[in-house]
C-alpha cells in the first residue's frame, strides 16, 4: 500500500481493485458483504495511513467514469452567472481546479495544492483559508454498503469541520457543485496566491499526508505542537516538519510504525502540556471494518 499512499508507507492489502462504473462497484460491494470481507475506498491516498502489517481486506480505487467532469450549465433556480459541474468521486482535485480555471469558473481556488480526490474532499469536508468544499455542494450521489445508490442534497449531509454526518462506509460516486462564472485572470491570481502560501509554509517536497491533526476549536494544532517543543522531533524515519509542526513527514525510510509512534508522542505531550487531546485528521486504515 506504500505505492498508494502519499506518506509512502504501509503493508500489503489482500487485494487492490480498480472499479470503473457503478454496476461493477455495486456487484463488488455486495459480494464483499456476502463474504464478510472488509473493504476501503482509498481515493488518491493523500489522507490515509496503512499499518505495516497491511490491510485484512480489499482496497478499492475509483477509476473510469468516476474520474469524469461533466458540465451541467446553469440549472433552474440558480443565480445568474453560476453553473454546475458533476464530478466523479475519483477525480483528482488538482485536475478539477485546473479545469475550472481553464473554463473561468470560480469557487475552488482555495483547493489549489490540496491533494486527493473529490470523494475524499467531500468525506473530509476539505478546506483551506476559511473555505470548505461542503459550501459548494448542491448534491451528492452515494452508494451504501448494500450497494444501493441514492442522491442526497448537500445541505443534508451534516458537514462539520473535516467531516460529515454520513455513515463511514458510504461511497461518494458523484458530487455536483455550483460555481460562479468569473474572470480567468482573477481566478489564476487567486490560485497563485494560495499556492505561494502553501510553498512558503508547508513541506510540499517531502512525503506527507498534509495536516496530520485536526485543529481543536479556536486553536491551531501546529502551534500547540510547536509550543510543546516537538518541531523537528523524529522517531525512526518519521519527523515533525521544521517548516510546519502539523506535518509528519517521511524522511525516506520511515515505517508506518514510526509515524504512529510519533503521532502518539505528539498526542501525549500536547495533552500533558495543554490538556488538549489532538485528533488525527489522517484516516488510519485497518482499525475498523467497512461492513455491517
- Which residue among 2, 65, 86, 162 is the active-site one? 162
Euclidean distance between CA atoms 146 and 151, whole angstroms: 15
Q: For this structure, is 277 an active site residue?
A: no
What separation in angstroms does the CA of 10 have from each of 185, 239, 257?
A: 41, 17, 9
Give the 3-state secondary structure of residue 16.
strand
The C-alpha cell that represents 251 in the structure block: 524522511
- Ranges of H-type helices in 46-181: 93-102, 118-124
| Contact between residue 167 and residue 41 where contact means Cβ atoms under 8 Å apart | no
- Which residue among 46, 117, 211, 255 is the active-site one? 211
Q: Which residues are CB-contacts of 252 (< 8 A; sequence separation ≥ 6)?
A: 237
Q: For this structure, is 292 an active site residue?
A: no
Residue 94 CA from chain centroid, whole number: 12
Q: For this structure, is 82 an active site residue?
A: no
The C-alpha cell that represents 154 in the structure block: 448537500
- Ranges of H-type helices in 79-229: 93-102, 118-124, 184-201, 221-227
Return the active site residues.
162, 211, 281
Amino acid at each position: 500500500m506504500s505505492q498508494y499512499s502519499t506518506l509512502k508507507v504501509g503493508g500489503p492489502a489482500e487485494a487492490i481493485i480498480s472499479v470503473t462504473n457503478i454496476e461493477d462497484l455495486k456487484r463488488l460491494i455486495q459480494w464483499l458483504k456476502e463474504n464478510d470481507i472488509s473493504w476501503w475506498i482509498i481515493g488518491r491516498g493523500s489522507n490515509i495511513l496503512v499499518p505495516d502489517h497491511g490491510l485484512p481486506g480489499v482496497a478499492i480505487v475509483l477509476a473510469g467514469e468516476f474520474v469524469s467532469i461533466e458540465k451541467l450549465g446553469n440549472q433552474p433556480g440558480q443565480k445568474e452567472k453560476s453553473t454546475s459541474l458533476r464530478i466523479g468521486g475519483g477525480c483528482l482535485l488538482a485536475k478539477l481546479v485546473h479545469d475550472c480555471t481553464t473554463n473561468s469558473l470560480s469557487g475552488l481556488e482555495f483547493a489549489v495544492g490540496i491533494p486527493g480526490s473529490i470523494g475524499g474532499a467531500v468525506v473530509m469536508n476539505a478546506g483551506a483559508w476559511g473555505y470548505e468544499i461542503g459550501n459548494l455542494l448542491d448534491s451528492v450521489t452515494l452508494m451504501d454498503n448494500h450497494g444501493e445508490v441514492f442522491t442526497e442534497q448537500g445541505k443534508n449531509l451534516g458537514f462539520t469541520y473535516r467531516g460529515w454526518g454520513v455513515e463511514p462506509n458510504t461511497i461518494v460516486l458523484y458530487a455536483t457543485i455550483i460555481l460562479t462564472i468569473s474572470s480567468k485572470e482573477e481566478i489564476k491570481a487567486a490560485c497563485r496566491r494560495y499556492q505561494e502560501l502553501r510553498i512558503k509554509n508547508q513541506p510540499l517536497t517531502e512525503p506527507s499526508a498534509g495536516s496530520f491533526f485536526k485543529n481543536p476549536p479556536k486553536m491551531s494544532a501546529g502551534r500547540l505542537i510547536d509550543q510543546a517543543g516537538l518541531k523537528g522531533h523524529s522517531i525512526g524515519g518519521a519527523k515533525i516538519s521544521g517548516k510546519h509542526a502539523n506535518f509528519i513527514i517521511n524522511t525516506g525510510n520511515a515505517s508506518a510504525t514510526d509515524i504512529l509512534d510519533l503521532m502518539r508522542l505528539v498526542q501525549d505531550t500536547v495533552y500533558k502540556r495543554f490538556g488538549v487531546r489532538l485528533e488525527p485528521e489522517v484516516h488510519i486504515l485497518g482499525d475498523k471494518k467497512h461492513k455491517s
